[in-house]
């Protein structure tokens, strides 16, 4: 049962002062934020004249004093405006919490305490909950390869129950070459942006001097990614074959030709050495990888979720007859939600998702599946009033899809929505962090999201 009202409640760490009055340097000015996403109405009364009461839960691990930041961004089901219905202008109403303070005591021996983080096992899933911590607060003995890249505000995503390591594209390609040498990827422009670091071996928007470029902030003109001649007289839909090298970037083909018989894994041994480049940026190539020729092939098809629009539709595009023209997929990544939220009805989406998952199971009986969550949307309206974007619609559509993919395909969830939702309240607002009104992420965030996927795939116990 979904709430009638759009409640956004964050528990924000305002102080890291300990019982003895000292400040824990690991959490100083961290503003750890825990979002309460699951609200359950105590009854189904949607009468706007009556008081609506909701129950919600949150789990706090990090020590400190937390305050409640609560806003109301929709009333009486208005967050779920569907096609043909009026979309109201975005408006927030601050909810007063009467100075409620929640104190979490420090337990230095607890495995979630930040100083214990490097003792945690490596992350083997793509949806581990966590928090953002300023990089400057991290213990001095930590090295850059012990955690993923910081976001644009200098904060690092650290899961509570496992740890992420910084994986170079060269190492990732080596492992993919023998674990998942053929990947089929379905998704919209969010996927197209996600693929840019893989295609460029990490060289896309990896320098601080580049990050003010429009494509690094949010724009995604396809011609910036693929050759111009591909956009003349090309039928829709069309597949791209991305022959992915972890060191020198990728070769992109339209004819989907296969690599002539060569093994995707370079047989030469890797002489492992400690990383020597303290910058360890997304384009970093570790010692021992620079001369290797490992590769994996990624076949990408632009799709619009479950929608039949502009010539593409999964029902026509994903069939056994069409897929048999390409090398069998060892891994299938499916990204959806954005177009469904914008132009779809929820009931229709539920029906189409069930059919889609059944089709994927038939077409790919032996593949491993990854479901990429929908993007996080918050605190703003879209410039196009025909798009029915809202925070709760994104959450509702995504929650249903991930449950169906997990139940019927045993899909691993690659959650890009969760980390974004745990940003501090001020970071979610439309400002420098959200320079445009699309559902695209900044380049820094995409590199982080990709690290979550890379860790989940090559740290996974089944591989």
Please state, in angstroms and rounded to a whole number, the distance separating the CA atoms of residues 307 and 254. Answer: 24
Query: Contact at 8 Å (CB) between 61 and 112?
Result: yes
CA atoms within 13 A on the CB side of 449: 28
Mean pLDDT across the chain: 86
Determine the 3-state secondary structure of 319 from DSSP.
coil
Higher-pLDDT residue of 457 and 440 is 457
Q: Do 380 and 440 belong together in one domain?
A: yes
Give whole-number Cα distances, 189 to 125, 317, 447, in Å.
Answer: 24, 17, 16
Query: Contact at 8 Å (CB) between 199 and 248?
Result: no
CA atoms within 13 A on the CB side of 2: 20
Please state, in angstroms and rounded to a whole number, the distance separating the CA atoms of residues 203 and 438. Answer: 23
Please state, in angstroms and rounded to a whole number, the distance separating the CA atoms of residues 187 and 384. Answer: 21
pLDDT at 360: 98
Q: Do 188 and 79 belong together in one domain?
A: no
Could you tell me if residue 146 is inside a domain?
Answer: yes
Q: Is 376 exposed, middle or buried (0-12, 13-18, 19+ CB in 10 A)?
A: buried
Q: Do 121 and 219 belong together in one domain?
A: no
Spatial CB neighbours of 284, under 8 Å, sequence gap ≥ 6: 168, 202, 275, 277
Please state, in angstroms and rounded to a whole number, the distance separating the CA atoms of residues 130 and 112. Answer: 10
Could you tell me if residue 282 is inside a domain?
Answer: yes
Q: Which pTM was predicted? A: 0.92
Higher-pLDDT residue of 20 and 401 is 401
Please state, in angstroms and rounded to a whole number, the distance separating the CA atoms of residues 350 and 20. Answer: 54
Q: Do 138 and 56 belong together in one domain?
A: no
Could you tell me if residue 463 is inside a domain?
Answer: no
Q: Do 184 and 127 belong together in one domain?
A: no
Please state, in angstroms and rounded to a whole number, the distance separating the CA atoms of residues 151 and 59. Answer: 24
Q: Do 209 and 326 belong together in one domain?
A: yes
Higher-pLDDT residue of 437 and 372 is 372
Q: Do 100 and 180 belong together in one domain?
A: no
Q: Do 149 and 224 belong together in one domain?
A: no
pLDDT tens readout for residues 213-270: 877 887 776 555 554 444 443 334 556 667 666 666 666 665 554 555 578 888 888 8
pLDDT tens readout for residues 386-399: 899 999 999 999 99
Q: Do 89 and 126 belong together in one domain?
A: no
Q: Do 355 and 213 belong together in one domain?
A: yes
Please state, in angstroms and rounded to a whole number, the distance separating the CA atoms of residues 441 and 362. Answer: 33
Q: Which DSSP string do the residues of 71-134 spell out, in sequence order?
A: EEEE-TTGGG--TTSPPPPP--EEE--TT-EEEE---TTSTTSGGGGGGSPBP-SB---EEEEE
Could you tell me if residue 164 is inside a domain?
Answer: no
Could you tell me if residue 109 is inside a domain?
Answer: no
Please state, in angstroms and rounded to a whole number, the distance separating the CA atoms of residues 61 and 83. Answer: 41
Please state, in angstroms and rounded to a whole number, the distance separating the CA atoms of residues 8 and 1. Answer: 17
Could you tell me if residue 246 is inside a domain?
Answer: yes
Higher-pLDDT residue of 291 and 50 is 291
Q: Do 191 and 288 belong together in one domain?
A: yes
388: CATH: 3.40.50
pLDDT tens readout for residues 406-419: 999 999 999 999 99
pLDDT at 312: 83
Cα angle 353-355-360, degrees, rounded to a multiple of 5: 90
Please state, in angstroms and rounded to a whole number, the distance separating the CA atoms of residues 294 and 247. Answer: 9
Q: Other CB atoms closer than 10 Å to residue 168's CB: what's the count?
A: 24
pLDDT at position 289 over 90: no
Please state, in angstroms and rounded to a whole number, the distance separating the CA atoms of residues 25 and 106. Answer: 13
Give whole-number Cα distances, 48 to 4, 6, 36, 388, in Å.
Answer: 9, 13, 23, 22
Q: What percent of the chain has pLDDT over 90?
A: 51
Could you tell me if residue 341 is inside a domain?
Answer: yes
Q: Other CB atoms closer than 10 Å to residue 399's CB: what's the count?
A: 16
Could you tell me if residue 122 is inside a domain?
Answer: yes
Determine the 3-state secondary structure of 236 from DSSP.
coil
- Which helix or strand (DSSP H or E) is residue 296 part of? strand 295-302
CA atoms within 13 A on the CB side of 328: 7
Q: Residue 203 — pLDDT band, cuts 50, 70, 90? A: confident
Q: Do 190 and 130 belong together in one domain?
A: no
> What DSSP state is assigned to residue 38?
-
Range of the domain at 43: 6-104
Task: Identify the CA nearest to 336 among candidates 127, 226, 189.
Answer: 189
> How many domains are there within the chain?
3
Query: Contact at 8 Å (CB) between 358 and 306?
Result: no
Determine the 3-state secondary structure of 222 from DSSP.
helix
pLDDT at 231: 40
Q: Pick the last residue of a domain from 63, 86, 104.
A: 104
């Amino acid at each position: 049962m979904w709430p009638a009202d759009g409640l956004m409640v964050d528990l924000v760490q305002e102080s890291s002062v300990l019982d003895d009055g000292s400040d824990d340097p690991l959490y100083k000015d961290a503003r750890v934020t825990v979002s309460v996403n699951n609200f359950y109405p105590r009854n189904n009364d949607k009468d706007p004249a009556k008081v609506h009461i909701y129950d919600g839960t949150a789990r706090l691990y990090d020590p400190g004093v937390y305050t409640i930041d609560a806003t109301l961004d929709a009333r009486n089901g208005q967050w779920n405006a569907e096609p043909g219905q009026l979309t109201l202008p975005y408006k927030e109403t601050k909810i007063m919490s009467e100075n409620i303070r929640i104190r979490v005591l420090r337990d230095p021996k607890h495995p979630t305490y930040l100083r214990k983080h490097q003792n945690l096992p490596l992350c083997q899933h793509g949806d581990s909950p966590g928090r953002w911590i300023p990089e400057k607060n991290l213990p001095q003995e930590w090295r850059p390869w012990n955690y993923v890249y910081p976001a644009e505000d200098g904060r690092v995503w650290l899961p509570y129950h496992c740890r992420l390591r910084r994986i170079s594209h060269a190492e990732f390609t080596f492992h993919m070459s023998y674990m998942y040498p053929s990947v089929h990827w379905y998704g919209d422009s969010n996927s197209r942006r996600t693929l840019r670091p893989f295609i460029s071996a990490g060289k896309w928007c990896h320098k601080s001097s580049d990050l003010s470029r429009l494509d690094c902030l949010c724009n995604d003109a396809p011609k910036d990614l693929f050759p111009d001649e591909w956009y003349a007289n090309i039928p829709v839909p069309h597949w791209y074959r991305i022959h992915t090298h972890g060191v020198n970037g990728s070769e992109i083909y339209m004819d989907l030709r296969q690599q002539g018989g060569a093994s995707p894994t370079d047989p030469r041994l890797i002489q492992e050495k400690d990383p020597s480049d303290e910058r360890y940026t997304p384009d970093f190539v570790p010692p021992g990888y620079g001369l290797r020729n490992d590769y994996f092939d990624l076949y990408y098809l632009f799709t619009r979720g479950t929608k039949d629009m502009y010539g593409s539709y999964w029902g026509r595009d994903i069939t056994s007859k069409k897929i048999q023209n390409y090398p069998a997929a060892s891994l299938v990544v499916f990204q959806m939600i954005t177009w469904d939220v914008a132009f779809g009805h929820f009931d229709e989406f539920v029906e189409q998702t069930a059919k889609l998952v059944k089709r994927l199971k038939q077409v790919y009986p032996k593949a491993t599946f990854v479901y990429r969550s929908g993007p996080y949307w918050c605190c703003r309206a879209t410039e196009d009033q025909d798009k029915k974007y809202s925070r709760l619609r994104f959450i509702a559509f995504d929650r249903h899809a991930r449950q169906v993919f997990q139940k019927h395909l045993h899909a691993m969830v690659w959650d890009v929505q969760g980390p974004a939702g745990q940003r501090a309240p001020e970071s979610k607002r439309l400002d420098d962090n959200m320079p445009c009104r699309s559902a695209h992420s900044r380049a820094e965030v995409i590199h982080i999201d990709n690290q979550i996927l890379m860790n989940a795939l090559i740290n996974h116990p089944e591989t």
